[in-house]
Structure 1
Amino acid sequence: MSSTRFGFSDDFDVIVIGGGPAGATTAALLAKRGHRVLVLERERFPRYHIGESLIPGVMVPMEELGLKERMEAKGFERKYGGTLVWGNNEVPWNFSFTTGGRIPYAFHTRRADLDTMILDRARELGAFVVEEATVKDSIEENGRVVGLKYTVRGLDGTHEARASLVIDASGQARVIGRKYSEITWNEQLRNVAVWTYFDNCHRLPGDEWTNILIEGTQEGWFWGIPIDKGVFSVGYVTRSDVANQSDKSLEELFVSEIESTTKLKELLKDATPAAGYRTARDWSYTNDRFHGDGWVLVGDAAAFVDPLFSTGVALATLAGSTLSKIVDQILKHPEIEEKALDRYSNAYRDFFDDIRSFVEGFYDRSKTKGYYFDLAQKISDPGKKNDAQVDFVKLISGLSGRDGGLFELSLDDLIEGVTGPSTAGS
């Protein structure tokens, strides 16, 4: 193994592109299992990112990483549920995460703080992290990805690193996915978002104090996230074609649509703007392939659904946790790679498709909350083992799955097939 100016060799078990929640979780848990992992992150942390409201599913990988107590110590505000102005009669209604099972809360957080915490944990567990590193290309041998070429800000030349497997967790940049896979856009969810921040906001009353607010309007919907003290993240989402046909800018739409709200307008009546506007558009997609020879996708690099129920970070970290277990076994038993990654991809796609199908149905605001509960049950619990409201909360908590699905994947049969019954699992 050759030495580099970074103080470590350029040969690894795994290279992870991206140090966000998906990449850092995957890298940290692989390093925890004793593997040599390199993380190449394009930016310098802490860095800004949208997606401040979490759901209970994220607490599973956070516990694996030993970060639950740190999240509390950091002062992240607990989130116990949500308040919605949604449906055919626009009467506000609530949900509580306690209805959905064993994890009764998540957090609201500044993503710069959360993402840095996870990436720092990856370092603590032994992953090598290079920030401000831009991946330029993959290295292929006989059709297989065996490494990456990258540059580092402030350093001359192009560097190379090699590994048994490359994991693309680069988010919507899709560094590897863009080269080896096409994507399918979800036409029903081709939306645009515009958001900003306010100080001195009011809060929802009583037990709703830390709830996320989701309020529908005629042509879209708002989120209102209490990040800390009186600071709110407020965003407006509408269809791209609606925004394109409007004679108003996105910022003007944001301001005018707030006037049509009820609860949100009340929370902001004494607030002051605290930041400029940011926008994003056309983000709901799925890669046609989740893996190939020597590479695999995770997090937003694989697929992204919609910000409606704040599922992004939870799906990314839960998938990263599962992928770390699978890659751990692939590194020990290389012969199972293709079949193991097929199994991961199919389960990941099924889990993602359940969330996407529900979000598509939920966007029909002509229905009642009972319809939305029944829709969640139809998708995730067709045998009706639970009450429909329980299925609704489990689904939007990121804690549902078809017969265990993505989170309980077993590779025992594949391992036994290559090692023989007498040594399987050893």
Structure 2
Amino acid sequence: MRPNLYGVPEEYDVIVIGGGPAGATTGGLLAKQGHKVLVLDRERFPRYHVGESLIPAFMRPMEELGITERMDQRGFERKYGGTLVWGNEQVPWNFSFVEGTRYPHAFHTRRADMDSLILDRARELGCFILEDCTVKEPIEEDGRVTGVRYTMRGADKPYEAKAKLVIDASGQSRLLSRRYADVTWHEELRNVAVWTYFDNCERLAGDEYTNILIEGLDDGWFWAIPLDKGTISVGYVTRSSLAGQSDEKLPDLFMSEVEKSTKLKRMLGPANQAAGWRSARDWSYTSTQFHGNGWVCVGDSAAFVDPLFSTGVALATLAGSVLSKIVHQILEHPHIEAEALNRYAGAYHNFFDEIRLFVERFYDRTKYKEFYYSLAQEMVDPEKERTPSADFVQLISGLSGKHPMLNLHLEDLIGDEAAAEFTASA
């Protein structure tokens, strides 16, 4: 074993595997609460990632991190709602975040910049951040995960780090959940996506200027995300069974489907392609376990759902915020670990399933928008306290206010005095 890295301790309260939005949010908020945190990532930031369009639920953990103003300072495009060509006869309709949430906007971003912003904030808050660092395996003692073994780019021997708890935020690599759990694939969402980027695009008109465009066709749908005044991210999503097995044919499929579109085709009229092609397959899944002895998942290592409503980053960071509060109490009161993580896992799983089930039913494009509004109300507001359209906006914003995921309590586990502290921090 080599000597430890210069200035980097060997023991921590928490080790976070992955410096993406889920890991950086969780680690940053734990460091903000005074804990000693190590965040490890195999990449050097900024690094490319798809998922550029965000939803209002993302704003809540960013407020806790204290970086919402920095997003405007960075020039990220504000997102006030969406334009859909969807449903029976593919009639265009819009939604606005002003209706149904306390956040009137989210953002479209280049994820390389956004993810770097969150990771840099975690560093500011006191996290030890190691990039170009690959976690090879967990360290186990008496059946409990007590740390990780990792290598650094250019080094020929591993290092070790120990912690009271290890958080798997490794995304779809699922470094710990792959080792300790299976995964359930959601058959209704076995899709393939192919995407690229265009410059010199025409934008949607008027109040729709900053909207994400979601345009449904007979066999799939397009996203069009404005990244700045003339550049958009465009992707096509369809069933894997319809796309075939060869990724080499996906660009041809993309371009042939563009010709069938309406709003998107007009946006791309004066445009030129500005990047190569990327694709992903069969990505909607849930881990069969969200935690174990000494470890817990957050973000895509726990679950991921089809990108129809851009929920990935928001759900990951929102879960990171909740988990940071849970882990803080576990570190203060170690005896509550198993039950506290059970409550987190149950609430997280249910929150994810609510979004997944809505997406699955939304894929029925034979309905009118009123059906989708009523479906949202049925799921999040059965007492009908708000309008169906407001319930729709709240659901696709990731902010179902009464959901246990947003209102976890540990009072019965940690006692009155500590419970008061937990409630105040939440």
CA distance in 1, matches of 2:420, 2:80: 40
SS at match of 2:99: helix
Partner in structure 2 of residue 320 of structure 1: 320
Query: CA separation in 1, counterparts of 2:247 and 2:322?
Result: 46
Q: Does 1:413 align with 2:412?
A: yes
1:4 positional shift: 2.2
Q: Per the alignment, in what secondary structure is the counterpart of residue 90 of structure 2?
A: coil
Are the counterparts in 2 of residues 285 and 303 from structure 1 also a CA contact under 8 Å? yes
What's the CA shift string for 1:176-222, capped at 9, x where partnerless?
Answer: 00000000000000000000000000011100000000001111000
Q: Do the aligned residues in 2 keep the contact of 1:192 with 1:237 (CA within 8 Å)?
A: yes
AA matched with 2:179: K
Aligned length: 420
Q: Secondary structure of the equivalent of 1:100?
A: coil
Structure 2 contact 90–217 (Cα < 8 Å) conserved: no
Moved more, 60-69 or 3-12: 3-12
Q: Structure 1, unaligned stretches of length 5 or more?
A: none
Q: Deviations over 1:48-67 (max 9, x none)?
A: 00000000110101111110
Separation of aligned partners in 2, 1:362 and 1:6:
52
Alignment match, 1:396: 396
TM-score under structure 1 length normalisation: 0.96
Q: Paired residue for 2:424?
A: none
Give 1:382 deviation, angstroms: 1.6
DSSP-derived class of the 2:227 partner = strand
Aligned to 2:350: 350
Question: 3-state SS of the aligned residue for 2:29?
Answer: helix
Q: 1:200-215 maps to which residues of 2 (within 5 A)? A: 200-215=200-215
Equivalence for 1:83:
83
Which residue number corresponds to residue 53 of structure 2?
53
**Greater CA deviation, 359-368 or 237-246?**
237-246
Q: 1:72 to 1:142 in 2, by over 3 A?
A: same
| 1:9 matched residue in structure 2 | 9
Partner residue in 1 for 2:365? 365
Counterpart amino acid of 1:415? I
Measured against aligned partners, the alpha-carbon deviations of 1:287-333 in whole angstroms (never above 9, x if no partner) come to 00000000000001100011000000100000000000000000000
Alignment of 1:19-168 (within 5 A): 19-168=19-168
Q: Distance in 1 between matches of 2:259 and 2:395?
A: 31
Superimposed CA distance per residue, residues 314-356 of structure 1 (whole angstroms, 9 cap, x where no aligned partner): 0000000000000000000000000000000000011101000
Q: Distance in 2 between matches of 1:422 and 1:257?
A: 60
TM-score (norm 2): 0.96
Q: Distance in 1 between matches of 2:248 and 2:165?
A: 48
**Paired amino acid for 2:261:** T
Kept in 1, the 8 Å contact 2:192–2:243? The answer is yes
Please state whether the residue corresponding to 1:296 is helix, strand or coil.
Answer: strand
- 1:3–1:9 CA contact under 8 A, matched in 2: no
Aligned partners of 2:247 and 2:279 also within 8 Å: no
CA contact (8 A) 1:415 1:425 kept: no
**Which amino acid counterpart does residue 413 of structure 2 have in structure 1?**
L
Aligned residue type for 1:314: A
Which residue identity lines up with residue 408 of structure 2 in the other structure?
L
| Residue 253 of structure 1: aligned partner | 253
How far the C-alpha of 1:412 sits from its partner, in A, is 1.2
Q: Which amino acid aligns with 1:317?
A: T
Distance in 2 (alpha carbons) for counterparts of 1:155 and 1:96: 51
Alpha-carbon distance in structure 2 between the residues aligned to 1:83 and 1:6:
51
* 8 Å CA contact retained: 2:101, 2:397: no
Matched position secondary structure for 1:383: coil
* 2-structure distance, mates of 1:260, 1:246: 22
Change (3 A) 1:105 1:423: closer
Identity of aligned residues (%): 66
The match for 2:294 is 294
> Per-residue deviation at 1:5?
2.0
Question: 2 CA distance for matches of 1:140 and 1:379?
Answer: 42
Question: Secondary structure of the residue that 2:286 maps to in structure 1?
Answer: strand
Alignment of 1:155-234 (within 5 A): 155-234=155-234
- Tell me: CA distance 1:384–1:149, structure 2 relative to 1, closer, same or farther (3 Å): same
2:42 counterpart letter in structure 1? R
CA distance in structure 2 between the aligned counterparts of 1:338 and 1:171, rounded to whole angstroms: 23
Q: For residues 28 and 294 of structure 1, what CA distance do their matches in structure 2 show? A: 20
Task: Give the match's secondary structure for 1:184.
Answer: strand
Gaps of at least 5 residues in structure 2 are 422-426
Q: Which residue of structure 2 lines up, in the alignment, with residue 377 of structure 1?
A: 377
* Distance in structure 2 (CA, Å) of the matches to 1:277 and 1:261: 19
Q: Note the aligned Cα RMSD (angstroms).
A: 1.5
Partner of 1:275: 275
Cα distance in 2, alignment partners of residues 124 and 422 from structure 1? 30
1:219-249 per-position Cα deviation (integer Å, ceiling 9, x unaligned): 1000000100200100000010111179981
* Equivalent position of 1:262 in the other structure: 262
CA distance in 2 between counterparts of 1:104 and 1:387 reads: 17
